[in-house]
Structure 1
Amino acid sequence: MEDYLQLFVEETSWFNDIVLGSLLPVKWWVSLPHFFRGWLRNYIGGTLLYLLSGVLWCFYIYYLKYNVYVPKDAIPTRKAMLLQIGVAMKAMPWYCALPTISEYMIEHGWTKCFSRISDVGWVPYFFYLTVYLVFVECGIYWMHRELHDIKPLYKYLHATHHIYNKQNTLSPFAGLAFHPLDGILQAVPHVMALFLVPTHFTTHIALLFIEAMWTANIHDCIHGKLWPVMGAGYHTIHHTTYRHNYGHYTIWMDWMFGTLRDPLDDEAKKI
Protein backbone atom coordinates (compact mmCIF):
# COMPACT_ATOMS: atom_id res chain seq x y z
CA MET A 1 0.00 0.00 0.00
CA GLU A 2 2.80 2.41 0.88
CA ASP A 3 4.44 1.75 -2.49
CA TYR A 4 1.17 2.55 -4.25
CA LEU A 5 0.65 5.78 -2.27
CA GLN A 6 4.15 6.80 -3.26
CA LEU A 7 2.89 7.04 -6.84
CA PHE A 8 0.68 9.97 -5.79
CA VAL A 9 3.59 11.67 -4.04
CA GLU A 10 5.76 11.24 -7.12
CA GLU A 11 3.06 12.72 -9.33
CA THR A 12 2.51 15.80 -7.16
CA SER A 13 6.29 16.22 -6.92
CA TRP A 14 6.43 16.14 -10.72
CA PHE A 15 3.73 18.83 -10.89
CA ASN A 16 5.77 20.89 -8.41
CA ASP A 17 8.92 20.55 -10.48
CA ILE A 18 7.12 21.62 -13.66
CA VAL A 19 5.51 24.76 -12.21
CA LEU A 20 7.95 25.84 -9.52
CA GLY A 21 11.06 24.72 -11.38
CA SER A 22 10.00 26.68 -14.46
CA LEU A 23 9.07 29.91 -12.70
CA LEU A 24 11.10 30.20 -9.49
CA PRO A 25 14.74 29.76 -8.52
CA VAL A 26 15.18 26.33 -6.92
CA LYS A 27 16.58 27.83 -3.71
CA TRP A 28 13.26 29.61 -3.12
CA TRP A 29 11.20 26.44 -2.81
CA VAL A 30 13.40 23.34 -2.57
CA SER A 31 13.61 23.54 1.23
CA LEU A 32 9.84 23.84 1.68
CA PRO A 33 7.96 20.81 3.06
CA HIS A 34 6.11 18.82 0.39
CA PHE A 35 2.70 20.11 1.54
CA PHE A 36 3.70 23.77 1.16
CA ARG A 37 5.33 23.12 -2.19
CA GLY A 38 1.96 21.80 -3.34
CA TRP A 39 0.16 24.89 -2.07
CA LEU A 40 2.67 27.22 -3.73
CA ARG A 41 2.33 25.34 -7.03
CA ASN A 42 -1.47 25.48 -6.84
CA TYR A 43 -1.35 29.19 -6.00
CA ILE A 44 0.97 30.09 -8.86
CA GLY A 45 -0.80 27.81 -11.34
CA GLY A 46 -4.26 28.97 -10.29
CA THR A 47 -3.31 32.64 -10.45
CA LEU A 48 -1.72 32.34 -13.88
CA LEU A 49 -4.66 30.35 -15.23
CA TYR A 50 -7.17 32.88 -13.88
CA LEU A 51 -5.34 35.94 -15.18
CA LEU A 52 -4.29 34.54 -18.56
CA SER A 53 -7.67 33.01 -19.40
CA GLY A 54 -9.47 36.16 -18.22
CA VAL A 55 -7.24 38.57 -20.14
CA LEU A 56 -7.35 36.55 -23.37
CA TRP A 57 -11.09 36.00 -23.20
CA CYS A 58 -11.83 39.66 -22.42
CA PHE A 59 -9.50 40.80 -25.21
CA TYR A 60 -11.32 38.51 -27.66
CA ILE A 61 -14.92 39.39 -26.81
CA TYR A 62 -14.52 43.07 -25.87
CA TYR A 63 -11.90 44.16 -28.42
CA LEU A 64 -11.38 41.73 -31.32
CA LYS A 65 -15.13 41.04 -31.47
CA TYR A 66 -16.17 44.48 -30.27
CA ASN A 67 -19.96 44.87 -30.19
CA VAL A 68 -20.46 41.43 -31.80
CA TYR A 69 -21.04 39.07 -28.87
CA VAL A 70 -21.73 41.71 -26.22
CA PRO A 71 -23.56 45.01 -26.95
CA LYS A 72 -21.45 48.13 -26.46
CA ASP A 73 -23.50 49.29 -23.47
CA ALA A 74 -23.08 45.89 -21.79
CA ILE A 75 -19.27 45.83 -21.80
CA PRO A 76 -18.01 46.16 -18.21
CA THR A 77 -15.67 49.01 -17.36
CA ARG A 78 -12.00 48.44 -16.63
CA LYS A 79 -12.70 49.61 -13.08
CA ALA A 80 -15.31 46.86 -12.63
CA MET A 81 -12.96 44.21 -13.99
CA LEU A 82 -10.07 45.40 -11.81
CA LEU A 83 -12.37 45.22 -8.78
CA GLN A 84 -13.24 41.62 -9.66
CA ILE A 85 -9.56 40.76 -10.08
CA GLY A 86 -8.83 42.30 -6.67
CA VAL A 87 -11.53 40.23 -4.94
CA ALA A 88 -10.33 37.04 -6.65
CA MET A 89 -6.67 37.68 -5.81
CA LYS A 90 -7.47 38.19 -2.13
CA ALA A 91 -9.30 34.86 -2.11
CA MET A 92 -6.83 32.89 -4.25
CA PRO A 93 -4.46 31.85 -1.41
CA TRP A 94 -7.43 30.35 0.42
CA TYR A 95 -8.88 28.71 -2.68
CA CYS A 96 -5.59 26.91 -3.22
CA ALA A 97 -5.74 25.36 0.24
CA LEU A 98 -8.53 23.03 -0.92
CA PRO A 99 -6.64 21.14 -3.68
CA THR A 100 -3.56 21.09 -1.45
CA ILE A 101 -5.52 19.44 1.37
CA SER A 102 -7.16 17.01 -1.07
CA GLU A 103 -3.71 16.00 -2.34
CA TYR A 104 -2.57 15.41 1.24
CA MET A 105 -5.54 13.13 1.90
CA ILE A 106 -4.96 11.26 -1.37
CA GLU A 107 -1.26 10.77 -0.64
CA HIS A 108 -2.12 9.31 2.77
CA GLY A 109 -4.65 6.83 1.40
CA TRP A 110 -7.75 8.37 2.93
CA THR A 111 -9.69 8.51 -0.34
CA LYS A 112 -10.76 6.15 -3.13
CA CYS A 113 -8.35 7.70 -5.65
CA PHE A 114 -6.37 5.51 -8.03
CA SER A 115 -3.15 6.52 -9.73
CA ARG A 116 -3.30 4.83 -13.14
CA ILE A 117 -6.26 4.26 -15.45
CA SER A 118 -4.83 0.79 -16.11
CA ASP A 119 -5.54 -0.02 -12.44
CA VAL A 120 -9.28 -0.12 -13.22
CA GLY A 121 -9.58 -0.15 -17.03
CA TRP A 122 -11.10 2.39 -19.44
CA VAL A 123 -14.75 1.33 -19.10
CA PRO A 124 -14.78 1.58 -15.28
CA TYR A 125 -12.79 4.82 -15.54
CA PHE A 126 -15.48 6.51 -17.64
CA PHE A 127 -18.21 5.06 -15.44
CA TYR A 128 -16.57 6.42 -12.28
CA LEU A 129 -15.93 9.75 -13.99
CA THR A 130 -19.62 10.02 -14.88
CA VAL A 131 -20.66 9.24 -11.29
CA TYR A 132 -18.10 11.76 -10.03
CA LEU A 133 -19.43 14.52 -12.30
CA VAL A 134 -23.07 13.76 -11.39
CA PHE A 135 -22.18 13.93 -7.70
CA VAL A 136 -20.33 17.23 -8.21
CA GLU A 137 -23.23 18.69 -10.21
CA CYS A 138 -25.74 17.78 -7.49
CA GLY A 139 -23.45 18.94 -4.71
CA ILE A 140 -22.68 22.33 -6.26
CA TYR A 141 -26.35 22.91 -7.09
CA TRP A 142 -27.45 22.40 -3.48
CA MET A 143 -24.47 24.22 -2.00
CA HIS A 144 -25.13 27.19 -4.30
CA ARG A 145 -28.86 27.15 -3.59
CA GLU A 146 -28.32 27.06 0.19
CA LEU A 147 -25.92 29.98 -0.08
CA HIS A 148 -28.95 31.90 -1.34
CA ASP A 149 -31.65 30.39 0.87
CA ILE A 150 -29.81 30.59 4.21
CA LYS A 151 -29.83 34.32 4.82
CA PRO A 152 -26.66 34.65 6.96
CA LEU A 153 -24.70 32.66 4.36
CA TYR A 154 -25.94 34.95 1.63
CA LYS A 155 -25.39 38.16 3.59
CA TYR A 156 -21.89 37.39 4.85
CA LEU A 157 -20.54 35.18 2.05
CA HIS A 158 -22.37 34.97 -1.27
CA ALA A 159 -23.43 38.63 -1.52
CA THR A 160 -19.80 39.48 -2.27
CA HIS A 161 -20.21 37.75 -5.63
CA HIS A 162 -23.67 39.10 -6.37
CA ILE A 163 -22.69 42.76 -6.47
CA TYR A 164 -22.09 41.85 -10.14
CA ASN A 165 -25.75 41.63 -11.11
CA LYS A 166 -26.11 42.83 -14.69
CA GLN A 167 -24.34 42.58 -18.02
CA ASN A 168 -22.25 45.72 -17.70
CA THR A 169 -20.79 44.52 -14.38
CA LEU A 170 -20.24 40.85 -15.30
CA SER A 171 -17.06 39.68 -16.99
CA PRO A 172 -14.92 36.51 -17.13
CA PHE A 173 -12.98 37.91 -14.17
CA ALA A 174 -16.12 37.71 -12.00
CA GLY A 175 -15.88 33.92 -12.16
CA LEU A 176 -13.62 33.70 -9.11
CA ALA A 177 -14.63 36.94 -7.39
CA PHE A 178 -16.05 35.32 -4.25
CA HIS A 179 -15.60 35.54 -0.53
CA PRO A 180 -12.87 32.90 0.08
CA LEU A 181 -15.12 30.63 2.15
CA ASP A 182 -17.90 30.89 -0.45
CA GLY A 183 -15.55 29.74 -3.23
CA ILE A 184 -14.26 26.87 -1.11
CA LEU A 185 -17.76 25.71 -0.15
CA GLN A 186 -18.82 25.55 -3.79
CA ALA A 187 -15.74 23.47 -4.65
CA VAL A 188 -16.09 21.11 -1.66
CA PRO A 189 -18.21 18.56 -3.63
CA HIS A 190 -15.10 17.84 -5.73
CA VAL A 191 -13.31 16.73 -2.56
CA MET A 192 -16.27 14.92 -0.98
CA ALA A 193 -16.56 12.81 -4.13
CA LEU A 194 -13.07 11.40 -3.53
CA PHE A 195 -14.33 9.55 -0.45
CA LEU A 196 -17.31 8.04 -2.26
CA VAL A 197 -16.28 7.40 -5.87
CA PRO A 198 -13.08 5.77 -7.19
CA THR A 199 -11.42 8.71 -8.93
CA HIS A 200 -8.39 9.02 -11.17
CA PHE A 201 -6.03 11.40 -9.38
CA THR A 202 -4.79 13.32 -12.44
CA THR A 203 -8.36 13.73 -13.70
CA HIS A 204 -9.43 15.13 -10.31
CA ILE A 205 -6.63 17.71 -10.35
CA ALA A 206 -7.43 18.65 -13.95
CA LEU A 207 -11.12 19.13 -13.16
CA LEU A 208 -10.31 21.45 -10.27
CA PHE A 209 -8.32 23.71 -12.58
CA ILE A 210 -10.93 23.45 -15.34
CA GLU A 211 -13.30 25.00 -12.78
CA ALA A 212 -11.41 28.29 -13.14
CA MET A 213 -11.95 28.30 -16.91
CA TRP A 214 -15.56 27.19 -16.64
CA THR A 215 -16.49 29.93 -14.17
CA ALA A 216 -14.89 32.48 -16.49
CA ASN A 217 -17.04 31.14 -19.33
CA ILE A 218 -20.37 31.34 -17.50
CA HIS A 219 -19.77 34.96 -16.48
CA ASP A 220 -19.11 36.37 -19.96
CA CYS A 221 -22.86 36.92 -20.69
CA ILE A 222 -22.63 35.12 -24.06
CA HIS A 223 -25.33 32.49 -24.48
CA GLY A 224 -23.83 29.52 -26.31
CA LYS A 225 -27.18 27.75 -26.85
CA LEU A 226 -25.67 24.29 -26.38
CA TRP A 227 -28.33 22.19 -24.65
CA PRO A 228 -28.15 20.96 -21.87
CA VAL A 229 -25.10 23.02 -20.89
CA MET A 230 -25.59 25.64 -18.18
CA GLY A 231 -23.94 28.41 -20.18
CA ALA A 232 -23.54 32.11 -19.58
CA GLY A 233 -27.06 32.93 -20.78
CA TYR A 234 -28.51 30.90 -17.92
CA HIS A 235 -26.00 32.18 -15.39
CA THR A 236 -26.60 35.81 -16.33
CA ILE A 237 -30.27 35.25 -15.43
CA HIS A 238 -29.10 33.86 -12.09
CA HIS A 239 -27.28 37.12 -11.41
CA THR A 240 -30.34 39.20 -12.27
CA THR A 241 -33.12 37.21 -10.56
CA TYR A 242 -31.15 35.54 -7.73
CA ARG A 243 -33.69 32.67 -7.68
CA HIS A 244 -32.99 30.68 -10.84
CA ASN A 245 -30.28 28.61 -12.54
CA TYR A 246 -28.17 27.46 -9.60
CA GLY A 247 -26.63 24.64 -11.63
CA HIS A 248 -22.99 24.40 -12.61
CA TYR A 249 -22.32 22.41 -15.77
CA THR A 250 -25.85 21.47 -16.87
CA ILE A 251 -29.48 22.54 -16.49
CA TRP A 252 -30.62 19.14 -15.16
CA MET A 253 -30.76 19.97 -11.44
CA ASP A 254 -32.64 23.21 -12.04
CA TRP A 255 -35.05 21.39 -14.35
CA MET A 256 -35.71 18.69 -11.73
CA PHE A 257 -36.24 21.11 -8.85
CA GLY A 258 -38.18 23.84 -10.64
CA THR A 259 -35.57 26.59 -10.61
CA LEU A 260 -34.78 26.62 -14.34
CA ARG A 261 -35.33 29.78 -16.37
CA ASP A 262 -34.43 29.62 -20.05
CA PRO A 263 -32.78 32.69 -21.64
CA LEU A 264 -34.46 31.88 -24.96
CA ASP A 265 -37.87 32.17 -23.24
CA ASP A 266 -36.83 35.54 -21.86
CA GLU A 267 -35.79 36.72 -25.32
CA ALA A 268 -39.12 35.57 -26.79
CA LYS A 269 -41.05 37.56 -24.18
CA LYS A 270 -39.17 40.73 -25.16
CA ILE A 271 -40.19 40.41 -28.82
Structure 2
Amino acid sequence: MEITQAVRAMPWIAVMTTPFFLAEVLGYSKLYDTLSDEPFPYYNWLQFPMFLLFTDFCIYFIHRALHSPLLYKSLHKPHHKWIMPTPYASVAFHPVDGFLQSLPYHLFPFIFPLQKFAYLALFLFVQIWTVFIHDGEYVANGTILNGAACHTMHHLYFNYNYGQYTTLWDRLGGSYRKPNEELFRRDSKMGQKEWERQVAEMENRVKDAEGEDDRQYVSSKAVKVGSKKDN
Protein backbone atom coordinates (compact mmCIF):
# COMPACT_ATOMS: atom_id res chain seq x y z
CA MET A 1 0.00 0.00 0.00
CA GLU A 2 2.82 2.42 0.80
CA ILE A 3 4.43 1.78 -2.58
CA THR A 4 1.11 2.29 -4.38
CA GLN A 5 0.47 5.56 -2.53
CA ALA A 6 3.98 6.77 -3.33
CA VAL A 7 3.81 5.86 -7.02
CA ARG A 8 0.48 7.62 -7.38
CA ALA A 9 1.61 10.75 -5.55
CA MET A 10 5.05 11.36 -7.06
CA PRO A 11 3.98 12.34 -10.60
CA TRP A 12 1.50 14.91 -9.27
CA ILE A 13 4.03 16.33 -6.82
CA ALA A 14 6.49 16.62 -9.72
CA VAL A 15 3.91 18.51 -11.79
CA MET A 16 3.24 20.96 -8.95
CA THR A 17 6.95 21.63 -8.37
CA THR A 18 7.83 22.03 -12.06
CA PRO A 19 7.09 25.80 -12.08
CA PHE A 20 9.77 26.30 -9.42
CA PHE A 21 12.39 24.44 -11.45
CA LEU A 22 11.36 26.30 -14.59
CA ALA A 23 11.71 29.63 -12.81
CA GLU A 24 15.18 28.59 -11.63
CA VAL A 25 16.25 27.64 -15.15
CA LEU A 26 14.97 30.98 -16.43
CA GLY A 27 17.08 32.82 -13.89
CA TYR A 28 14.45 34.09 -11.48
CA SER A 29 16.01 32.47 -8.41
CA LYS A 30 19.12 33.40 -6.44
CA LEU A 31 21.05 30.29 -7.46
CA TYR A 32 24.67 31.02 -8.36
CA ASP A 33 27.11 29.01 -10.45
CA THR A 34 30.55 28.86 -8.87
CA LEU A 35 31.94 29.07 -5.36
CA SER A 36 33.65 32.33 -6.27
CA ASP A 37 30.22 33.90 -6.83
CA GLU A 38 29.33 33.72 -3.14
CA PRO A 39 27.70 36.98 -1.97
CA PHE A 40 30.18 37.44 0.89
CA PRO A 41 33.08 35.49 2.46
CA TYR A 42 32.22 32.15 4.05
CA TYR A 43 28.69 32.16 2.63
CA ASN A 44 29.49 28.92 0.80
CA TRP A 45 29.64 27.33 4.26
CA LEU A 46 26.87 29.38 5.82
CA GLN A 47 24.29 28.39 3.20
CA PHE A 48 24.09 24.82 4.55
CA PRO A 49 22.96 25.60 8.12
CA MET A 50 20.77 28.40 6.75
CA PHE A 51 18.96 25.95 4.48
CA LEU A 52 18.49 23.42 7.28
CA LEU A 53 17.26 26.00 9.79
CA PHE A 54 14.89 27.65 7.32
CA THR A 55 13.34 24.40 6.08
CA ASP A 56 13.15 22.87 9.57
CA PHE A 57 11.32 25.97 10.82
CA CYS A 58 8.88 26.10 7.90
CA ILE A 59 8.13 22.39 7.77
CA TYR A 60 7.37 22.31 11.49
CA PHE A 61 4.56 24.82 11.07
CA ILE A 62 3.31 23.35 7.78
CA HIS A 63 3.28 19.86 9.27
CA ARG A 64 1.55 21.05 12.42
CA ALA A 65 -1.08 22.86 10.35
CA LEU A 66 -1.69 19.65 8.40
CA HIS A 67 -2.71 18.04 11.68
CA SER A 68 -5.47 20.58 12.23
CA PRO A 69 -9.01 19.17 11.87
CA LEU A 70 -9.54 21.32 8.79
CA LEU A 71 -6.68 19.73 6.83
CA TYR A 72 -5.86 16.41 8.44
CA LYS A 73 -8.59 14.14 7.07
CA SER A 74 -8.53 15.58 3.56
CA LEU A 75 -4.75 15.85 3.09
CA HIS A 76 -2.49 14.34 5.72
CA LYS A 77 -4.39 11.24 6.82
CA PRO A 78 -3.18 9.11 3.86
CA HIS A 79 0.37 9.41 5.19
CA HIS A 80 -0.77 8.22 8.61
CA LYS A 81 -2.31 5.02 7.33
CA TRP A 82 0.94 3.40 8.40
CA ILE A 83 1.33 3.44 12.16
CA MET A 84 4.77 1.85 11.89
CA PRO A 85 6.14 3.26 8.62
CA THR A 86 8.77 1.85 6.29
CA PRO A 87 11.13 3.79 3.98
CA TYR A 88 8.41 3.81 1.32
CA ALA A 89 6.28 6.02 3.59
CA SER A 90 8.81 8.81 3.02
CA VAL A 91 7.08 9.59 -0.29
CA ALA A 92 3.64 8.09 0.41
CA PHE A 93 1.58 11.27 0.67
CA HIS A 94 -1.50 12.87 -0.72
CA PRO A 95 0.02 14.88 -3.61
CA VAL A 96 -0.97 18.25 -2.14
CA ASP A 97 0.41 17.23 1.26
CA GLY A 98 3.71 16.18 -0.31
CA PHE A 99 3.90 19.43 -2.26
CA LEU A 100 3.17 21.61 0.78
CA GLN A 101 5.85 19.91 2.86
CA SER A 102 8.38 20.26 0.04
CA LEU A 103 7.56 23.93 -0.50
CA PRO A 104 10.26 25.34 1.84
CA TYR A 105 12.98 23.54 -0.13
CA HIS A 106 11.85 25.24 -3.32
CA LEU A 107 11.28 28.65 -1.76
CA PHE A 108 14.73 28.88 -0.19
CA PRO A 109 16.70 29.64 -3.41
CA PHE A 110 14.22 32.40 -4.26
CA ILE A 111 14.80 34.08 -0.89
CA PHE A 112 18.47 33.32 -0.19
CA PRO A 113 21.48 32.77 -2.46
CA LEU A 114 22.32 29.11 -2.98
CA GLN A 115 25.18 27.59 -4.94
CA LYS A 116 23.94 25.14 -7.57
CA PHE A 117 25.97 22.12 -6.49
CA ALA A 118 25.05 22.81 -2.86
CA TYR A 119 21.43 22.87 -4.02
CA LEU A 120 21.74 19.38 -5.50
CA ALA A 121 23.62 18.05 -2.47
CA LEU A 122 21.01 19.42 -0.08
CA PHE A 123 18.13 17.93 -2.04
CA LEU A 124 19.89 14.56 -2.00
CA PHE A 125 20.42 14.90 1.75
CA VAL A 126 16.75 15.79 2.29
CA GLN A 127 15.58 12.67 0.48
CA ILE A 128 17.99 10.41 2.36
CA TRP A 129 16.97 11.98 5.68
CA THR A 130 13.28 11.53 4.88
CA VAL A 131 13.86 7.84 4.21
CA PHE A 132 15.98 7.56 7.34
CA ILE A 133 13.29 8.89 9.69
CA HIS A 134 10.77 6.39 8.32
CA ASP A 135 12.96 3.28 8.28
CA GLY A 136 12.23 2.06 11.82
CA GLU A 137 15.89 1.66 12.75
CA TYR A 138 16.34 3.44 16.06
CA VAL A 139 20.05 4.12 16.14
CA ALA A 140 20.27 6.97 18.63
CA ASN A 141 18.14 8.20 21.49
CA GLY A 142 19.36 11.78 21.41
CA THR A 143 17.26 14.79 22.30
CA ILE A 144 18.43 17.14 19.54
CA LEU A 145 17.91 15.34 16.24
CA ASN A 146 14.45 14.32 15.12
CA GLY A 147 15.51 10.87 14.01
CA ALA A 148 13.60 7.68 13.27
CA ALA A 149 12.62 7.10 16.90
CA CYS A 150 11.21 10.61 17.29
CA HIS A 151 9.30 10.33 14.04
CA THR A 152 7.91 6.95 15.05
CA MET A 153 6.45 8.71 18.08
CA HIS A 154 4.75 11.03 15.62
CA HIS A 155 3.21 8.16 13.66
CA LEU A 156 2.15 6.38 16.83
CA TYR A 157 0.77 9.32 18.78
CA PHE A 158 0.01 11.91 16.04
CA ASN A 159 0.36 15.21 17.89
CA TYR A 160 4.07 15.15 18.68
CA ASN A 161 7.41 15.63 16.91
CA TYR A 162 6.39 17.58 13.82
CA GLY A 163 9.95 18.73 13.09
CA GLN A 164 12.03 17.58 10.14
CA TYR A 165 15.64 17.52 11.36
CA THR A 166 15.68 18.74 14.94
CA THR A 167 13.46 18.81 18.00
CA LEU A 168 14.02 22.57 18.45
CA TRP A 169 10.65 23.80 17.21
CA ASP A 170 8.77 20.97 18.90
CA ARG A 171 10.37 21.95 22.19
CA LEU A 172 9.50 25.59 21.69
CA GLY A 173 6.01 24.71 20.49
CA GLY A 174 5.28 22.24 23.30
CA SER A 175 4.89 19.27 20.95
CA TYR A 176 8.05 17.31 21.73
CA ARG A 177 7.73 13.75 22.97
CA LYS A 178 10.79 11.75 23.91
CA PRO A 179 10.89 8.31 22.26
CA ASN A 180 9.87 5.39 24.44
CA GLU A 181 12.86 3.63 25.95
CA GLU A 182 11.41 0.29 24.82
CA LEU A 183 12.12 1.19 21.20
CA PHE A 184 15.84 0.85 21.87
CA ARG A 185 15.64 -2.52 23.61
CA ARG A 186 15.76 -5.24 21.01
CA ASP A 187 14.43 -7.83 23.44
CA SER A 188 11.22 -5.84 24.06
CA LYS A 189 10.95 -3.73 20.91
CA MET A 190 8.88 -6.34 19.07
CA GLY A 191 7.37 -7.96 22.16
CA GLN A 192 3.63 -8.49 22.34
CA LYS A 193 3.27 -6.65 25.64
CA GLU A 194 5.00 -3.55 24.29
CA TRP A 195 2.97 -3.60 21.08
CA GLU A 196 -0.31 -3.95 22.97
CA ARG A 197 0.59 -1.00 25.16
CA GLN A 198 1.54 1.17 22.19
CA VAL A 199 -1.53 0.16 20.18
CA ALA A 200 -3.86 0.99 23.08
CA GLU A 201 -2.42 4.48 23.42
CA MET A 202 -2.29 4.95 19.66
CA GLU A 203 -5.97 4.07 19.27
CA ASN A 204 -6.91 6.73 21.80
CA ARG A 205 -4.88 9.25 19.81
CA VAL A 206 -6.57 8.13 16.59
CA LYS A 207 -9.99 8.84 18.08
CA ASP A 208 -8.84 12.28 19.21
CA ALA A 209 -7.38 13.12 15.81
CA GLU A 210 -9.77 11.38 13.44
CA GLY A 211 -12.89 10.36 15.33
CA GLU A 212 -13.83 6.71 15.04
CA ASP A 213 -11.21 4.72 13.14
CA ASP A 214 -12.61 3.82 9.71
CA ARG A 215 -9.68 1.61 8.74
CA GLN A 216 -10.24 -2.14 8.52
CA TYR A 217 -7.87 -4.57 10.17
CA VAL A 218 -8.04 -8.16 8.92
CA SER A 219 -6.16 -10.93 10.68
CA SER A 220 -3.97 -13.31 8.72
CA LYS A 221 -6.29 -16.14 9.82
CA ALA A 222 -9.29 -14.37 8.31
CA VAL A 223 -7.38 -13.79 5.09
CA LYS A 224 -6.55 -17.50 4.84
CA VAL A 225 -10.16 -18.49 5.47
CA GLY A 226 -11.33 -16.03 2.84
CA SER A 227 -8.85 -17.30 0.28
CA LYS A 228 -9.98 -20.90 0.89
CA LYS A 229 -13.61 -19.91 0.29
CA ASP A 230 -12.63 -18.19 -2.95
CA ASN A 231 -10.95 -21.38 -4.10
**How many residue pairs align between the two structures?**
183
Q: Are the counterparts in 2 of residues 99 and 205 from structure 1 also a CA contact under 8 Å?
A: no
2:9 maps to 1:94: no
Q: Distance in 2 between matches of 1:117 and 1:97?
A: 31
Structure 2 partner of 1:218: 133
2:32 maps to 1:141: no
Q: 1:106 aligns with which of 24, 32, 42?
A: 24
- Say which SS state the counterpart of residue 230 (structure 1) adopts: coil
Q: Which TM-score applies when normalising by structure 2?
A: 0.72
Tell me how far 1:178 sits from its aligned partner.
0.4
Q: Distance in 2 between matches of 1:122 and 1:242?
A: 43
Q: Distance in 2 between matches of 1:267 and 1:172?
A: 17
Tell me how far 1:208 sits from its aligned partner.
2.5
Q: Are the counterparts in 1 of residues 138 and 183 from structure 2 also a CA contact under 8 Å?
A: no
Tell me how far 1:98 sits from its aligned partner.
5.0
Structure 1 partner of 2:102: 187
Give 1:144's aligned amino acid. Answer: H
Deviating beyond 6 angstroms after TM superposition, the runs of 4 or more aligned structure 1 residues are none
2:159 maps to 1:240: no
TM-align CA RMSD:
2.1
Distance 1:266 1:259, change over 3 A: farther
Tell me how far 1:183 sits from its aligned partner.
0.4
Q: Are the counterparts in 1 of residues 17 and 99 from structure 2 also a CA contact under 8 Å?
A: no
Give 1:195's aligned amino acid. Answer: F
Q: Distance in 2 between matches of 1:131 and 1:243?
A: 27
Comparing 123-132 with 83-92, greater Cα deviation is found at 123-132
Deviations 1:62-89 (A, max 9, x none): xxxxxxxxxxxxxxxxxxxxx1001000
Consecutive unaligned residues in structure 2, runs of 5 or more: 185-193, 195-231
2:180 maps to 1:261: no
Q: Are the counterparts in 1 of residues 133 and 147 from structure 2 also a CA contact under 8 Å?
A: yes
Q: Are the counterparts in 1 of residues 141 and 179 from structure 2 also a CA contact under 8 Å?
A: no
Give 2:102's aligned amino acid. Answer: A
Structure 2 partner of 1:129: 48
Q: Distance in 2 between matches of 1:118 and 1:100?
A: 28
Structure 2 partner of 1:158: 76
Q: Are the counterparts in 2 of residues 176 and 212 from structure 1 also a CA contact under 8 Å?
A: no
Q: Are the counterparts in 2 of residues 218 and 235 from structure 1 also a CA contact under 8 Å?
A: yes
- Say which SS state the counterpart of residue 93 (structure 2) adopts: coil
Give 1:202's aligned amino acid. Answer: F
- Say which SS state the counterpart of residue 229 (structure 1) adopts: coil
Identity of matched residues, %: 33
Structure 1 partner of 2:122: 207
Which structure has greater helix proportion? 1
Q: Distance in 2 between matches of 1:263 and 1:158?
A: 22
Tell me how far 1:263 sits from its aligned partner.
0.9
Distance 1:100 1:108, change over 3 A: same
Consecutive unaligned residues in structure 1, runs of 5 or more: 1-82
Q: Are the counterparts in 2 of residues 98 and 184 from structure 1 also a CA contact under 8 Å?
A: yes
Structure 1 partner of 2:91: 176
Q: Which TM-score applies when normalising by structure 1?
A: 0.62
